[in-house]
Amino acid sequence: MANNKGAILGLGILGISAFAWMSMQQPVATTNGELTPGGVPSYTSGSGSGSGSGSGSGDDDWDAPDCSAIWDSNGNRVNDKWIFHGKLKIKWHRVNCSLNGFIIRVYTDKRNYVAGEPIKVLIFKKYYETKMSNDWHKWYNGTSYDGQGLKFHMGLTSTDDYELHKFQQTDGTKITDSSTVTMNGDLEADGWWESSGAVMKTITTSDSDVGEYYLKFRGQLGPYAWGSPCGEGDCDCNRKSITSQKLLRVLPRDCSTSSSAESTKKAETNNVWRAEHFIQSYQQNWM
């Protein structure tokens, strides 16, 4: 009888373990009605196809958002300082041209955002003229000097080609007092306030914008008339662009609180604890 009891007990424990495991793997309906394995929410990118990382479709669609990119284990916001994305410079001294160069530097106020948070882009710009003082001057939102073109283009495009901000001529709010901007991160040691024009472009985000984004910007002189000694048309000698290697991320609104970073982990831990506790109770009652 002892052997039979042990066999029955073993089968009982095995059955309960299998039941607990199957219970944890059962699909659970999300708020939008979709079914996901183990109750892990599914998120789509800004274009409506792909995972929360904006990396495409497939198995990645089952990934939960990594809120730890925003919150540390103590509930403090991280990666919440100014990030430098690159510098563009052109300088010529063509005597028949009035406008001969520019310097552009671009920052964002952070790298990781929650849907609904604005993306703030701080742009420092100055241009170089050789008609009068032969010097650098602050450039805010002006589009020409002495009748010659001066343009700044910027865009934010996701890794699956959704345009959060179309690549185009982009102006911003003029900033003349650096005290209105928190000086931290890559911006802390920047002395460009004194010599450059500063503008702030604010880009809104929503739940449909979840994804990862490339920031691209370009400076351009002209276009000049064909045959101009300053460069013809949209000649590459008059323009320069860069795509930042630092992707910006927009995470789901579920990551808006510090507790969200541990929410998925806690749910999984609770499921395992409940199964183990049930098995232990069974053993105590039947051993």
Q: Are 52 and 112 in contact (CB under 8 A)?
A: no
State yes or no: pLDDT of 4 exceeds 90. no
Q: Averaged over 225-233, what is the pLDDT?
A: 77
State yes or no: pLDDT of 190 exceeds 70. no
State yes or no: pLDDT of 176 exceeds 60. yes
Q: 57 or 45: which carries more pLDDT confidence?
A: 45
CA nearest to 240, candidates 224, 220, 216: 220
Q: CB under 8 Å to 4, separation ≥6 — which residues?
A: none
- Tell me the chain's radius of gyration from C-alpha atoms: 28
For residue 162, the model assigns a pLDDT of: 97
As annotated, the residues of the chain forming the CATH 2.60.40.1930 domain(s) are 83-251
Query: What CA–CA distance (Å, rounded) separates 269 from 262?
Result: 10
State yes or no: pLDDT of 279 exceeds 80. no
Out of 3-12, 14-23, 38-47, which region has the weakest mean confidence (pLDDT)?
38-47
- The CATH number of 83-251, from 2.60.40.420, 3.40.50.10540, 3.30.380.10, 2.60.40.1930, is 2.60.40.1930
Q: Averaged over 261-279, what is the pLDDT?
A: 45
Query: What CA–CA distance (Å, rounded) separates 51 from 15?
Result: 35
pTM given for the model: 0.70
Q: Averaged over 70-78, what is the pLDDT?
A: 91
pLDDT tens for 81-103 read 999 999 999 999 888 889 999 99
Query: What CA–CA distance (Å, rounded) separates 287 from 284?
Result: 6
Query: What CA–CA distance (Å, rounded) separates 83 from 201?
Result: 15
CA nearest to 138, candidates 127, 151, 153: 127
